[in-house]
Chain A
Amino acid sequence: MDTIIGIDLGTSTTEAAVYQDGKPVLMLNFDGREVTPSIVGVDDTGNIIVGEKAEAQLLIAPERTVREVKRLIGTDELVMIGKRQYSPVEISAMILSYVRTYAGTYLGEDITRAVISVPAYFDEIQRQETMEAGRAAGFMVDRIINEPTAAALSYGLEHMDEESYVLVYDLGGGTFDVTLLEMFEGVLEVKASSGDNKLGGKDFDERLIQYLTNRFQEKHGIDLTKDLYAMARVRDEALRCKIALSTQEEYTIQLPVLTVKDEVPYAMDEVLTRAKFEELIQDLVERTHEPIKVVLSDSGISAGELDKILLVGGSTRVPLVRRDIEAYFDKKPEAAVDPDYAVAQGAAIQAAIISGLIDESSEIVMTDVNPYTLGVRAIHGYDDEYMSVIIPRNKTIPTTKKQKFYTSWDGQTEAVIEVYQGESSCVRYNHCIGEFVLKGIPDRAAGKEAIDVSFTYNQNGMLHVTGKIVSTGKEASIEINMLGTKEEREDVSDWKSSELAGEYRSAVRRAEKWLKNHAEDKRAEDLLYYLKRAVLEEDEEQAEEFEEKLLYYIGEQQ
């Protein structure tokens, strides 16, 4: 059996662990450290460098170095390093590939399998891209595991005989996650997960930087934000300041010759108190309350019933965060796990469960939940964009749920089953993750024919959707890989070469123009792609269908 390692691919740092001799062990990188900064750069000879080396050149060559790329995962944004642009997936793959080499050296074998952790509240696309990055780095990714779940696993392994409700509060560099688990004699059951994809220690830094540059502008009338080198130094110092303020009441920022204007050097000299810092981040910390509320109400457990609060993630070192938690729950949080290593350790434990190193019948067992609501589009009264929920969020997986739908007009012979993910009751604001058509419904009056729609969501994040006509037993289904590959898109850029191009040019142009202002509209983008593909394949019937759908969709949005 190949060794499977566990990787915590964090916003600011990355760690990797492996299960050895009955416990998870952190592996050392080429610098002899457990922690690798999640920083990638190109050195002056054009080689890719990762980790501490890249961190070292952050101040001298910020244009050739990139950090916090995890925050961009799932977006189309590209990052410049030196002369070339890279996608967030490519950069994440570089970090993972670095991990793969050092893990290989550490263990003395080629490592090809891994469990990678992601924030619990990462959505569909973000998970897929993380998986893609893993594959690009040469891993077969056995599982994507939620970070708080991983942290709880590493806690659970050492507290096997507890019976308790545990809340994992994970405030990392870039994301906030909160998960509630029930522990019962070595079985870990995740009850609910929630979070905020864009909230973390980096936001604290940003607030500090903003404050410092504003002060600088007031004092000297110089806008620092355009000066890449100065900003790199301010950023570096802000980070130092934030860390220092966790233990001391006051910190003095001194950056001599920060910038030069008209041949006069200007220095930054500021004293920052902890109180001031806390004032700057107060509202950010309060943003954690909403997800906590969701988790408590979804799991049906009140704050008073909680037995333990585990803190994970570097940002939980900020005293204000701890005070806030204590005030909210009226309970002191515990430092029972190492906030930096717990996630990687948990990922390694999950890896050991998969590879069979841990025996589930005598050791630890874990069940997880789906973080987002899944459903189909349905007509509901006057509303034809109603999200009919099939599997509600925070349901233990694997799970199968079935629901009946009825035809909505006389003589309806086919039903389009559109599968959505998201929390809105209007599908337009949710994410369409697949659709298929169920044909051959007997021609009868509205409401006389029923369709059974069943969703099966399995452990590996595969969603299997089946539609079945009750009266005839005819079925159609779709397999949606929630974690695996994205649909392979063909290159359709030369659709103009098709004979059909003339006919559909105006529709394509109109959609493209519209998409310029609605860049994040995935549905329109998908439809445009299908239209182009149909045109390229000269499939007139399909092209017509998608043209109609596309124009209708755009028309509805305006």
Chain B
Amino acid sequence: MRKDYEILGIQEDADEKKIKRAYFKLIREYSPEKNPERFQEIRAAYERLLEEKDKPKHDFQLEFPEDDSFALSMFDQIQQLLEEGDYAKALLTAQEGIKYYQEAECFLYMYARCCMLEGKNGKGVKAYEKLVERFPDKLFYKSELAKAYHIRGYQRKAYAMFQTAYKEGEREIDFLNLYSHCCYDREKYQESVQILQELVDSVPAEKTNQMILELLEAYTGLFMNCMAEPYPVEDVAEKCCLFLEQIEDQLEGYEEQIVSVLLFVRLVASRNHGKKLKRLVDKLKELVSEVLPDNMPTEMLDVFQMMEDDRFSELMKLTVKAFMLLDDTAFPRDSFDEYACFMQMDAFLCQLEAWPKQRKELDLLKEEYPDLYECGIDVWDMVRRCTGENRQYMIEDVLAEYLRMEAKFQCGHYYELYPDRRCHIEQIQWDSQEEGTFVRKDRKIGRNEPCPCGSGKKYKNCCGKG
């Protein structure tokens, strides 16, 4: 960072305007036409500085070992590595720096940051504790320490530190969001609401478009709190409405956040303030259905509604949840993991066992929530088709794989509902080994056919793996 200021030839306290002026002056001299290499250096420094200016400012300067260009370049290297996302290496370098320069502030701070980014939260907490102790005047460290406590799970300490930092005047957006979370976890709902309201009010109108994510999270939090401890929510609803109108055309990419706001608002509305929240609900619905219909996980809304629907049994709700997890229109691709696959198998087995008791519910689902039904259509078909002996074979077939995965996740509902099955499986495995050849009653599933568990993946990539 220091080097960047040097490259642009300006003081470190230069504001955005000065940075810009310096940059534009320099590229006259070193234009992309005349000196592309130098231009790139200048440009990179300029971009880094502008980015830094965009971030909330630290109102302090880091202490550096005096007159040591090696320390400077090491520090720059760490920042570079952080930018590239190579946290592990950045952490190592920071450690090196601490050793070499007897815990100089700049390296200790970098070390703390890297630890948190690398997930070494315990070490991060320790480092921030040290920093707070050594620099009691620097509010920033207190705020970071509070966040670190919170992430590490030291809720009591976190809460105390949040309060201290808050009292000393920390008002950074992320800080406030996490503070309110912490309050919520400790059931201090009033405090949580108060903080979030302050957060929402602190963002000036012209800055809302840079804080969309943070604000959406804050509003979600506000309505979440209201679920736990009702408070007059009209004001918040009004503000939220205004905010949504303002950013209407920039909401792409925030679909999930919008849906979660809508979910909580609906919940609140269903509890008490139906009429007062009508405008907000309408606005959100409009966003969901008109402004962002392409990427909107509308099925999620249906899931939510269905979960509240008393006509469905727990089993049915469980199954729908499991299958929605694997629908990639509602969830990012990353959710396609083994766990989701396991949850599906779990639900599938339960459905097979319970059939045909839930036939009526299934018809109801098909009629009223066609989208949800569509998501698991292969499975429903399979469940309907598998009768008599076939069903037993299907259950046993799936169980073999289920057994392996259950050992890993240990959270399925199947054994809970059908405890006698656990020993039954061991039996199956025994039997099939004894008999030698296993006679297949069901049709063989081809490697490249869709997996019967309904995941939508090929059999070879799913249950047929290995």
What 1/0 mask marks residues of chain B from 1 to 22 whose CB sits below 8 Å from any chain A CB? Answer: 0000000000000000000110
Q: A184-B20, A187-B27 are in contact. Are A382 and B36 (CB under 8 A)?
A: no
B residues at A contact (CB < 8 Å) = 20-21, 24, 27-29, 31-34, 36, 39-40, 43, 84-86, 209, 249-250, 333-334, 336-337, 457, 461
A residues at B contact (CB < 8 Å) = 184-187, 189, 293, 297, 302, 353-354, 360-362, 365, 367, 381-383, 396-400, 402-404, 458-459
Q: A365-B31, A381-B333, A382-B333 are in contact. Are A459 and B249 (CB under 8 A)?
A: no
Instruction: Give the distance to chain B from A270, nearest Cβ to Cβ, in Å.
Output: 37
A185: chain B residues within 8 A (beta carbon): 24
A382: chain B residues within 8 A (beta carbon): 333, 336, 457, 461
Instruction: Give the distance to chain B from A383, nearest Cβ to Cβ, in Å.
Output: 6
In contact, A187 and B39 (Cβ under 8 angstroms): no
A297: chain B residues within 8 A (beta carbon): 250
Q: Bound state CA distance, A200 and B457, in angstroms?
A: 43
In contact, A459 and B27 (Cβ under 8 angstroms): no
- Nearest B residue (CB) for A302: B209
- Nearest A residue (CB) for B250: A297
Instruction: Give the distance to chain B from A392, nearest Cβ to Cβ, in Å.
Output: 12
Q: A361-B28, A404-B84 are in contact. Are A459 and B33 (CB under 8 A)?
A: yes
In contact, B84 and A367 (Cβ under 8 angstroms): no
Known: A381-B333, A404-B85, A459-B36. 5 other contacts (CB 8 A): A360-B28, A360-B34, A382-B333, A382-B461, A398-B39
Which secondary structure dominates where chain B touches chain A?
helix
In contact, A360 and B31 (Cβ under 8 angstroms): yes
- Nearest B residue (CB) for A300: B210
Q: Bound state CA distance, A403 and B28, in angstroms?
A: 30
- 28 A-B pairs with CB atoms under 8 Å apart are A184-B20, A184-B24, A185-B24, A186-B28, A187-B24, A293-B249, A297-B250, A353-B33, A354-B33, A360-B28, A360-B34, A361-B28, A361-B29, A362-B28, A365-B28, A367-B31, A367-B43, A381-B334, A381-B336, A382-B457, A383-B333, A398-B36, A398-B39, A399-B43, A402-B84, A403-B84, A404-B85, A459-B36
Instruction: Give the distance to chain A from B326, nearest Cβ to Cβ, in Å.
Output: 12
- Closest 5 interchain pairs by CB? A187-B24, A360-B31, A184-B24, A398-B36, A365-B31
In contact, A459 and B32 (Cβ under 8 angstroms): yes
A403: chain B residues within 8 A (beta carbon): 84
- Nearest B residue (CB) for A305: B206
In contact, A397 and B32 (Cβ under 8 angstroms): yes
Q: Bound state CA distance, A512 and B33, in angstroms?
A: 45
A459: chain B residues within 8 A (beta carbon): 32-33, 36
- Nearest A residue (CB) for B37: A398
B85: chain A residues within 8 A (beta carbon): 404
In contact, A398 and B333 (Cβ under 8 angstroms): no
In contact, A187 and B334 (Cβ under 8 angstroms): no
Q: Bound state CA distance, A100 and B443, in angstroms?
A: 73
Q: A187-B27, A293-B249 are in contact. Are A404 and B36 (CB under 8 A)?
A: no
Q: Bound state CA distance, A396 and B33, in angstroms?
A: 13
In contact, B33 and A360 (Cβ under 8 angstroms): yes
Q: Bound state CA distance, A128 and B292, in angstroms?
A: 37
Q: Bound state CA distance, A360 and B39, in angstroms?
A: 13
Q: Bound state CA distance, A254 and B36, in angstroms?
A: 59
